Structure 1
Amino acid sequence: MIDSTPHPIDDIAIEDTQKWLTKAVIDLNLCPFAKTVVVKNLIRYRVYSDNSLAELLSLLKIELMLLAHSEDSQIETTLLIAPFVLQNFIEFNDFLDEAHYLLQELVLEGVLQVADFHPQYQFAGEAMDDMSNFTNRSPYPTLHLLKESSIDRSVLAYPTAELIFEKNMTTLRQLGPQGWSHLLLKARLNSNELPHSP
């Protein structure tokens, strides 16, 4: 059963994620669309603080439905943060298949998208330590739920959107591992220590 009671570790996970959003995603301009939703407080943060994949999938379903039926003026995007599960990137990738099946089941393809961030994110064909991977490295395994309508508006407002990825590669390779470490984006929660028993 999903515990909806706020837990102190939720605050830590959200604070770490917000720091990453500010110092990496916004300050490095990895996503030119992010600043607006942060400033306007249109991001919903939801933390899953246990380690059951079935429960995480159930929570994802709840959050997808909530986002799909929310006004843009209330919630434009959701970050579902899972500090204690899917630490292995391959397992995380496998779970993404389940997330996409869920979109189909809910008939939300074309309405919502599920993007992904992970502490060990690795693009196919890239070395583990290649800086290109850091465009998608977050403090915790995170599912980013987005409205297709918001994406469409952002692309219209940013006509060179297709160049963002290449620009990010250049930015991060110039920053280098030492520059990234200076951002101090360490996760404060230990994935091996659950706050309560499953």
Structure 2
Amino acid sequence: MNNLNIENVHQQVLQWLENVVIGLNLCPFAAKPNRNKQIQIFISEANDEDVLLEEIYHQLKKLDSTPVKELETTLVVTPHLFEDFADYNQYLDLVDALLFQMGYQGTYQVASFHPDYCFHGTQPDDAENLTNRSPYPIFHLIREESMEKVLKHYPDPEGIPERNIERVESLTDEEIARLFPFLK
């Protein structure tokens, strides 16, 4: 994963966001902030996990200091780290510890995406894993207050995961190849 062009990485993530996350309606809350240019895609060039944690810290502080109408959410993309999903999954504990240490529990949460995402209890080839598969490892920093506002007006938010699984399970092999060109 060396020699990655940041603009290419950004374009791949944006394409995934628009075609998969929004296009398949996996996150019914993403379309509006994307339309309003309130989603930041931060491409980390870190090759070191400590440097990445510091970058995530700074992205959280940026969310703190930027009005929601300007910046709703941030995708921290890590093209040089966490090729192995198990390492990525373990690192999530450090990110959660950072949120706790900063006093941000209840303020921010992290959603996780990875090219090899595999839910506990599933097999790597199970279609439901596609709901969290992305071109690169991504830490999605979400404002909990914004999520709560949207959920109040969304019918049956508890059913979103099941609907997402049904949606990706209904994809043809051709659709999967087109929407997830980064899959091995």
Task: Confirm or deny a common fold (TM above 0.5).
Answer: yes
CA RMSD of aligned residues (A): 1.6
Give the structure 1 partner of residue 22 of structure 2.
26
The structural deviation recorded for 1:32 is: 0.8
Give the structure 2 partner of residue 36 of structure 1.
32
- Say whether residues 1:124 and 2:130 are aligned partners: no
What one-letter code is carried by the residue in structure 1 that aligns with 2:93?
D
- Say whether residues 1:101 and 2:97 are aligned partners: yes
* Aligned pairs for 1:23-172 within 5 A: 23-172=19-168
Q: Does structure 2 retain, via aligned residues, the 8 Å contact 1:131–1:177?
A: no
Give the structure 2 partner of residue 181 of structure 1.
177
CA distance in 2 between partners of 1:163 and 1:177 (Å): 25
Q: Does structure 2 retain, via aligned residues, the 8 Å contact 1:118–1:141?
A: yes
CA distance in 1 between partners of 2:164 and 2:25 (Å): 8
Structure 1 runs (4+) deviating above 3 angstroms are none
In the comparison of the two structures, how many residue pairs are matched?
Answer: 181
The structural deviation recorded for 1:183 is: 2.3
Give the structure 2 partner of residue 9 of structure 1.
5
What one-letter code is carried by the residue in structure 2 that aligns with 1:89?
F
Percent identity between matched residues is: 33
Q: Does structure 1 retain, via aligned residues, the 8 Å contact 2:115–2:182?
A: no
CA distance in 1 between partners of 2:174 and 2:126 (Å): 13
Listed one character per residue, the Cα deviations across residues 111-157 of structure 1 (whole Å, up to 9, x for unaligned) are 11111100000001111000100000000000000101111011012
**Which structure 2 residue ranges, 5 or more long, are not aligned?**
none
Between 1 and 2, higher relative CO (CA 8 Å, sep ≥ 6) is seen in: 1
CA distance in 2 between partners of 1:176 and 1:166 (Å): 18
CA distance in 1 between partners of 2:155 and 2:65 (Å): 28
TM-score by length of 2: 0.94
The structural deviation recorded for 1:10 is: 1.9
Sort the Cα spacing of 1:184 and 1:124 in 2 relative to 1 into closer, same or farther, 3 A: closer
